[in-house]
């Protein structure tokens, strides 16, 4: 293959490692975490990344050594073939199996907290995904979702800070994925199924709401924003949305619905 190409191959690996190390320095890393449980998700991510990085660097270094040592232009020794080692095959099967089993057990509490242990609170809203927007429905003055006075918004999610948030998620058409990067929340919206999503935000501000599943030609524009605010600000926003919605409703239509 030529030792020039060996060095070129090795330089690509070095540049990849340098880029990875410098990424956080230039703010090309994980988005800011504002959730109560986000540190657990980040810890699992970094732990798995460390394991895979060790394997990646080890295999790439071995590949470079063999490419350098057994370069055909510098090595006149004939090629030798071997059937392999049964013992070695057993070892490199047992080791990954043990690692995967450890990871499966290590992440059980994180999975349970985010996907199984639903908080004992009333649902704050209902989220419906459709090509290519997020439809949000909050309960109106009666406090129930699915009634005439519900408050409807599109791509504009508001939640109170420092409270357990619970909502249902469904899809009107194809598979979507509800993704809040700053809250480390991602849940598929599956047609015909109702999913439950919960989290707690610890900091106020505006953050991204995106779809993390390729859902059609307009997937790139299926995005919105989540506003985390105080309970007083949230209640005020909800009241403003209700009044604006009522002001635009046709009185004759409202009378016929009643």
The pLDDT score that the predictor gives to residue 257 is: 47
Q: Does domain 125-249 have CATH number 2.60.40.420?
A: yes
Cβ pair 217, 143 in contact under 8 A: no
Rounded-to-integer distance, Cα 134 and Cα 157, Å: 9
Spatial CB neighbours of 21, under 8 Å, sequence gap ≥ 6: none
DSSP secondary structure of 96-141: HHHHHHHHHHHTHHHHHHHHT---SS---EEEEEETTEEEEEE--T
For residue 206, say if its preceding peptide bond is cis, omega within 30 degrees of 0: no
**Is the torsion defined by CA of 16, 34, 129, 195 positive or negative?**
positive
The pLDDT score that the predictor gives to residue 71 is: 76
Taking residue 111's Cβ as centre, other Cβ atoms within 10 Å add up to: 13
Query: Hey, which of 18-22, 74-78, 101-105, 254-258 has the most confident mean pLDDT?
Result: 101-105
The CA-to-CA distance between both ends of the chain, in Å, stands at 81
Question: What are the CB-based long-range contacts (under 8 Å, 24+) for 103-108?
Answer: 103/48, 103/51, 106/44, 106/47, 107/44
Residue where the block lists tokens 């929340």: 185
- Label residue 223 by pLDDT band (50, 70, 90): very high
The pLDDT score that the predictor gives to residue 258 is: 44
Residue where the block lists tokens 């070129």: 8
Cβ pair 146, 171 in contact under 8 A: no
The pLDDT score that the predictor gives to residue 2 is: 66
- Label residue 206 by pLDDT band (50, 70, 90): very high
Q: Which residues pair with 197 in a beta bridge?
A: 167
The pLDDT score that the predictor gives to residue 163 is: 96
Residue 211 phi, psi (nearest 5): -100, 125
The pLDDT score that the predictor gives to residue 255 is: 47
Q: Residues 40-64: what's their mean pLDDT?
A: 90
- Label residue 197 by pLDDT band (50, 70, 90): very high
The pLDDT score that the predictor gives to residue 82 is: 76
Cβ pair 154, 133 in contact under 8 A: yes
Q: What is the pTM of this model?
A: 0.81
> Mean pLDDT across the chain, nearest whole number?
89
| Per-residue pLDDT at 69 exceeds 90 | no
Q: Residues 226-232: what's their mean pLDDT?
A: 97
SS (H, E, C) 206-255: EEEEEECCCCCCCHHHCEEEEEEECHHHHHHHHHHHHHHHHHCCCHHHHH
Taking residue 146's Cβ as centre, other Cβ atoms within 10 Å add up to: 8
Cβ pair 127, 195 in contact under 8 A: no
Q: Residues 64-81: what's their mean pLDDT?
A: 79
- Label residue 253 by pLDDT band (50, 70, 90): very low
Task: Give residue-wise pLDDT tens across range 151-185.
Answer: 999 999 999 999 999 999 999 999 999 999 999 99
The pLDDT score that the predictor gives to residue 1 is: 54
Query: Hey, which of 15-29, 181-195, 244-258 has the most confident mean pLDDT?
Result: 181-195
Rounded-to-integer distance, Cα 75 and Cα 138, Å: 73
């Amino acid at each position: 293959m030529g030792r020039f190409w060996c060095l070129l191959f090795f330089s690509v690996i070095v540049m990849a490692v340098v880029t990875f190390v410098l990424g956080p320095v230039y703010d090309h890393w994980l988005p800011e975490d504002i959730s109560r449980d986000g540190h657990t998700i980040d810890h699992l991510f970094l732990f798995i990344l460390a394991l895979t990085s060790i394997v990646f660097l080890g295999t790439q270094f071995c590949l470079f050594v063999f490419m350098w040592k057994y370069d055909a232009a510098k090595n006149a020794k004939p090629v030798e073939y071997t059937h392999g080692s049964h013992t070695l095959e057993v070892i490199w099967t047992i080791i990954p199996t043990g690692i995967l089993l450890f990871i499966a057990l290590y992440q059980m509490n994180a999975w349970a907290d985010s996907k199984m242990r639903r908080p004992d609170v009333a649902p704050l809203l209902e989220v419906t995904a459709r090509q290519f927007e997020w439809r949000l429905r909050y309960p109106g003055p009666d406090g129930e979702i699915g009634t005439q006075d519900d408050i409807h918004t599109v791509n504009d999610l508001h939640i109170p800070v420092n409270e357990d948030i619970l909502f249902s998620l469904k899809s009107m058409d194809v598979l979507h994925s509800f993704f809040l990067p700053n809250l480390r929340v991602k849940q598929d919206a599956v047609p015909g199924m109702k999913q439950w999503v919960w989290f707690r935000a610890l900091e106020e501000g505006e953050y991204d709401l995106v779809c993390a599943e390729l859902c059609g030609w307009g997937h790139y524009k299926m995005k919105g924003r989540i506003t985390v605010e105080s309970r007083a600000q949230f209640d005020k926003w909800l009241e403003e949305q209700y009044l604006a919605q009522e002001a635009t409703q046709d009185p004759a239509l409202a009378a016929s619905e009643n």
